[in-house]
Structure 1
Amino acid sequence: MSSFTCNPLDIAYRFSDMSVGPFWRGVFREAADPSVILYKDRYYLFPSMSGGFWHSDDLATWEFAATPTLPTYDYAPDVREIDGHLVVCASRSVKPCSFFRTTDPLSGQWQEIPGTFAFFDPNLFQDDDGRVYLYWGTSNKKPIQGQELDRTTFERIGQPVPIISGDVRAHGWERPGENHDHRQSNGMGVLMEKIAGTDPYFEGAWMTKYDGVYYLQYAAPGTQLNTYADGYYTAPSPLGPFIYSPQSPFSSKPGGFMTAAGHGSTIQDRHGNWWHMATMRISVQHMFERRIGLFPAGFDADGVLFCNQEFADYPMTVPNGPADPWSLSAKAMLLSDRRPVTVSSADPAHAAELAVNEDARTWWVPADATPGHWISVDIPEGATVSSVQINLADHEIRPPKPKWAETQQTLVWRRRIDMAEPAVEVLLEGSADGVTWEPLYDTRGAKVSRTHLFVELDEPRAYRHIRLTGYAQPYGSKLAVSGLRVFGHGAGAAPAAVTPRARHTSPLNAAVTWNGAPTAPGYNVRYGLAADKLYQSWLLYDRTDLDLSALNADHDYWIAVDSFNENGITRGQPVHLAAA
């Protein structure tokens, strides 16, 4: 039987308590840089700063396993199967990085193989002939490198080979900044530019071999940006020579409720379906405030690597068998977008409508932290509700400050990861009339720590109101709702089709405009290098224009705009945009 999920992944993201001396302190959840594999018929997910890993039977429901014997505070852990062992390594920029292996990850027993050199953002790869390679690098100055390693000792063989340096004059998506324009950056983006400059970062390597071709994937331009994405180079051998793919970025999510889809891993499930798991950003409390997304992926008949990221934070099917990756997304439509909301109270700086504005970086907060505050959203008349996603924000979280000995140095910050999983208690209810309420999901007393709860109803129901009531919140904080997102199907018609107009404003940018459809609150802009390869998309609300800024120079593009509302999606026909 198929499962359903909704990005970001519904797991118990760990709280990090971070500080820089007496000058700054922040407490927020983080998991990023996901490395996932299928090992002995089970999926294992290792993200940064989590104190362990998650494992799953179906890619939709995940269980956590702590790993106190592994280096908790080393960034970007990589997991691969090498000679029948599950092997993990992670980032240390100055000290040699060890490798850890096991044949039973759930036993907690790991063999350490001491490292002989330092690296950051590693990815191991074992080729069909048994030879092992390591790819690594995260820098806005140095290239991503590759090198062969001894398959038993993981010591170096030969010399490192520089592979990916990027080219912001030809690859529009590699340019830093919000919407690929650093002048639009704000908040954490501006802070990162002050620290590291405006040069893009190239990082997060991942190697996939398909049909005899080596696909080396990489992330750019920066994890704190909506434009964080993954591209790729191909080669006939593990260390090259590599050629840039103009189909890059193949994983990109610059619009919608939660943006970004970079620094990821690509795997096949047990049914032969391809998936890409990547980092999504919030980056409000800190640039490393991040989450994890799962996206259908694949290779087309021409060997092009792609992701289906259309409506990528809407409910999605995780099939229990072979499936077309383009059939899995948008299994229900959004019913709550900018709908009327009623709340028990509101902080003037965090109004009620911020819980239904399709932006994970803003949220509603009640006046105080008293248990029992609630928010209710009205659903369009005649609609049926099939699922609800509850997204809670990390608002002014202040647990007791940890002692120095309880923290670790990570980059420039002292950090403590809270492994206790402070409970999140909420009650979700539905009503047909706003008077009589039916419970839909209740976490009171369950010691649940998840803040992106995805609730799939046993069957669609005709509700007019969905209400969320908050009780205990982490560390006694206020309830903070960044997205009370209700999904299902409306009773009306999908909007009319629209036709875009496109013109180049630079070799890497195109101005795309269209006449709006009267009943469409949003549009999905699809684009690619051929009319039948519109593999990239950009989800927009309340707009009829887009500066399409992720183009590769000297290539023709085809662009289509889909209109949508709570009743469905109307596909638009592509128009041709010749190279500038």
Structure 2
Amino acid sequence: MCFWACNDSSALQAQNPVIGVTPRYCNPLPMEIGPGANASGDVTVLNDNGKYYMVCTGGGAWVSDDMYNWKYQLVTFEGTGRIPTAPDISKFNGKYYLCGNDSPLYSADHPLGPYKDLGPWKNTPGLEGGWRTAFDVHIYVDDDNTPYLYWSGGGVSGIYASKLDPKDLTKFIGTTKHLITFNNEHIWERYGEMNEYPDVAWIEGPWVNKINGTYYLQYSASGTQWKSYANGYYTSKSPLGPYTYAPNNPLTLNTVGMVSGTAHGCIIKGPDNNYWQFYTTVLSNPPGGRRIGMDRVVFDNQGNMSVKITDVPQWAPGKIKDPTKGNSGSTQVTTNKMRAMNTLSKVSSEQPGRDAAYAVDNYSGTWWEPDPNDPTPTLMIELSPATRFDVVQLYHVDGVRLMFTGGRRSVVRPAANTPAPAQTFVFKYKIEVSMDGEKWTTVLDQSNNKISRNTIYEEIPPVKCRFARLVMTDWPKESPLGVIDFALFGIADKEVQPAAQPIPANFLGK
């Protein structure tokens, strides 16, 4: 029996992927910021005949044909209405349905609307059935075309579900089922950065898939403010249970680096006919700052799911034959090299308490802030700082990730169907490389960038170098420039050089 989704060879674009030719992605995903809309967590993706529609807390939608290139699109409503917090998008009998926290159910003839307000949820089960309000609701349509609603009861109460009336999805029918609840023996479910609260939790974010006859109920804990935020799952042979706790939980857990707090998302089938996990990522600072990530789902012979959270470039969906070999081989080559022994790394300016080293510390709670009077802030990294006992390792640099300050509360959401307030998140920059710290070559020029994003990933044609630098040419002037992350990716070259090499004094080369 094939538990792992079988590959569709017709969807594969490259049997032998090549860096610089075959597309790659890198987490957190570089989502465009639309007018009054930011992809800031609680992500749901609808696969509608090979076109992918993503909705998130923060408003708007993002559309893709390949699950690699995402384009922001406005979602419209008839009269009043807006994308709710923790939105869920689904399709039933040719109609599209949108719902979320404290919101009515909306329907439309197109995933982008215009959506009509169908009114509040009717004959809800009440407190005894876990219904306090519409919270993290998810509509799942089984393969027999029966619709179900799953929701979180809040706090430790767990996840509930009920059938919906196929003639009116706002109505519950049948008996409400209490599917799972908090179990403090599952230490990862406990509240707190170190799961230190034994009797406190927040069980939320239900999502259901049916794969090879098994229902997978995904849920999140311990809370979206913690980097311990993670996904787990239960399995059942019925959509309403009983559900059994998976032996390899948690499914997604990562508390370090730029991709942490990996929870509240969804699992969908991608263009390669394999399953992919989308998830929220939690920034260490500012409070509430969140991004989006995705990674492949793999099934073992017993049907257990696993997801390896990644923070380096991966081959894009549908571009490789074996989805378990997503890593392209590139690794981060800038981390902590502002403070390494004997480093020649330098910066043009920095504010007190906002050191340049914070841009390369692989931590989302700190950032580099240059002097406001610095017209072209420049951060140069020696990729191979060495003591006199070491050789100098050269690298083939092939990608860059940039993250700038600005969390989910940075974007002002407009009222329904009204123009968004004037905001810009357009960052302009160049990446330059050098072998000697004196002669520089531009390998990526985004000085004319017009795309609004606070997280960026760009491919660089592989180039060998010892030094690399980020040159900021323009940025939103409404607030100080803050660079959370400047991560270059690459692969070590076979060539090495002696450690003692004369370097010109003016190696910023400005």
Normalising TM by the smaller chain, what interval?
Answer: 0.7 to 0.9
Q: Deviations over 1:214-234 (max 9, x none)?
A: 111100001111111111111
Q: Say whether the 8 Å CA contact 1:376–1:465 is kept in structure 2.
A: yes
| Contact 2:87 2:101 (8 Å CA) reproduced | yes
RMSD between aligned residues: 2.8
Structure 2 counterpart of 1:489: 491
TM-score calculated relative to the size of structure 2? 0.81
Paired with 1:437 and 1:374, the residues of 2 have a C-alpha distance of 13
State the one-letter code of the partner of 1:98: L
Tell me which amino acid in the other structure corresponds to 1:61.
N
Q: Show the counterpart of 1:328.
A: 326
Kept in 2, the 8 Å contact 1:267–1:276? The answer is yes
Against the structure 1 CA distance between its residues 450 and 90, is the aligned structure 2 distance closer, same or farther, given a 3 Å change threshold? Answer: same
Spell out the pairing of 1:518-557 with structure 2 (5 A cutoff): none
C-alpha distance in structure 1 between counterparts of 2:421 and 2:206, whole Å? 28
Q: Which residue of 1 aligns with 2:453?
A: 450
1:248 CA displacement: 1.3
Letter in 2 for 1:65: Q
Q: Does 1:221 pair with 2:222?
A: yes
In 1, the alpha carbon distance for the partners of 2:380 and 2:193 equals 32
2:256 corresponds in structure 1 to: 255
CA distance in 2, matches of 1:357, 1:446: 26
Q: Per the alignment, in what secondary structure is the counterpart of residue 298 of structure 2?
A: strand
- Partners of 2:353 and 2:319 lie apart in 1 by 47
Q: CA deviation at 1:63?
A: 0.4
Confirm whether residue 427 of structure 1 aligns to residue 434 of structure 2.
no
More strand by share: 1
Q: Residues 210 and 406 of structure 1: is their aligned pair in 2 closer, same or farther, counting only changes over 3 Å?
A: closer
Structure 1 residues 418 and 378 mapped into 2: Cα distance closer, same or farther (>3 Å)?
Answer: farther
Asked whether the equivalents of residues 470 and 479 of structure 1 are also in contact (C-alpha less than 8 Å), the reply is no
In structure 2, the gaps of 5 or more residues are: 1-12, 14-21, 123-132, 339-344, 385-392, 496-510
> Which has the higher mean CA deviation after the structures are superposed, 352-361 or 246-255?
246-255
Question: Which residue of the other structure, out of 167, 178, 181, is the alignment partner of 1:165?
Answer: 181
Q: Distance in 2 between matches of 1:198 and 1:443?
A: 50
Residue 99 of structure 1, CA deviation: 2.5
Given that 2:414 and 2:421 are in contact with CA atoms closer than 8 Å, whether structure 1 keeps it comes out as: no
Q: Give SS of 1:383's match.
A: strand
What is the distance in 1 between the residues matched to 2:257 and 2:415?
35
Q: CA deviation at 1:200?
A: 1.1
Show the counterpart of 2:233: 232
CA distance 1:15–1:112, change in 2 (3 Å): closer
Describe the SS at the equivalent of 2:296: strand
Give 1:497's aligned residue. Answer: none
Asked if the contact 2:378–2:471 (Cα under 8 Å) also holds between the matched residues in 1, the reply is yes
Equivalent position amino acid for 2:201 in 1? P
Decide whether aligned partners of structure 1 residues 349 and 322 sit closer, same or farther in structure 2, where only a CA change above 3 A counts: closer
What's 1:84 paired with? 94
Q: 2:142 aligns with which of 127, 132, 137?
A: 127
* 8 Å contact kept, 2:396–2:465: yes
**Residue 387 of structure 1 aligns to which amino acid in structure 2?**
G
**Is the partner of 2:261 in helix, strand or coil?**
strand
Aligned partner of 1:40: which letter?
N
Alignment of 1:454-533 (within 5 A): 454-458=457-461, 460-491=462-493
1:377 to 375, 381, 388: 381
**Structure 1 counterpart of 2:87, which letter?**
P
1:387 aligns with 399
Question: How far apart, in 1, do the equivalents of 2:478 and 2:241 lie?
Answer: 54
Find the aligned partners of 1:492 and 1:249 in 2 and give their Cα distance. Answer: 39
Partner of 2:295: 295
Q: Residues of 2 paired with 1:419 and 1:245: CA distance? A: 47
Instruction: Answer whether contact 2:406 2:454 (CA < 8 A) is retained.
Output: no
Deviation, 1:420, is 4.2
Pairing partner for 1:53 from 36, 41, 61: 61
Query: Per-residue displacement from partner, 1:168-224 (whole Å, max 9, x unpaired)?
Result: 1x1011112113236xxxxxxxxxxxxxx9711000000010111111110000111
Letter in 2 for 1:463: C
Q: Letter of the 1:282 partner, please give it.
A: L
Give unmatched runs, 5+ long, in structure 1. Answer: 18-28, 183-196, 409-415, 494-580
Residue identity in the other structure for 2:208: M
Deviation of residue 476 (structure 1)? Answer: 3.0
What letter matches 1:262 in structure 2? A
How much does 1:15 deviate?
A: 8.9
**C-alpha deviation, 1:298, in angstroms:** 2.5
CA contact 2:89–2:98 (8 Å) conserved in 1: yes
Provide closer, same or farther for how the CA distance between residues 419 and 43 of structure 1 changes in structure 2, counting only shifts above 3 A: farther
AA of the residue aligned to 2:299: F
Equivalent residue in structure 1 for 2:70, among 40, 58, 62: 62
What's 2:361 paired with? 357
Gap change, CA 1:231 and 1:485, over 3 Å in 2: same
Q: 1:217 to 1:437 in 2, by over 3 A?
A: same
SS at match of 1:388: strand
Structure 1 residue 429, shift from structure 2 partner: 2.1
- Superposed displacement of residue 65, structure 1: 0.1
Q: Which has the higher contact order (CA 8 A, sep 6+)?
A: 2
* 8 Å Cα contact 2:414-2:420 kept in structure 1: no
Aligned-residue identity in percent: 28
More off after superposition, 73-82 vs 273-282? 73-82
State the SS of the aligned residue for 1:58: coil
Counterpart residue number, 1:40 = 49
Match in the other structure for 1:11: 31
Aligned equivalents of 1:322 and 1:147: distance in 2?
39
SS at match of 1:353: helix
Deviations 1:409-467, CA, capped at 9 Å, x for gaps? xxxxxxx9757443222222222332232223333343221122111123x10122222
Give the C-alpha shift of residue 30 in structure 1: 5.8
Q: Which residue of 1 aligns with 2:506?
A: none
CA distance in 2, matches of 1:142, 1:153: 27
- Residue identity in the other structure for 1:67: V
SS in 2 for 1:354: helix
Deviation at 1:43, TM superposition (A): 1.2
Taking the aligned partners of 2:134 and 2:437, their CA distance within structure 1 comes to 57
Could you say which residue in structure 2 is the equivalent of 1:535?
Answer: none
Q: Which residue of 1 aligns with 2:387?
A: none
- In the TM superposition, residue 144 of structure 1 has moved relative to its aligned partner by 1.6
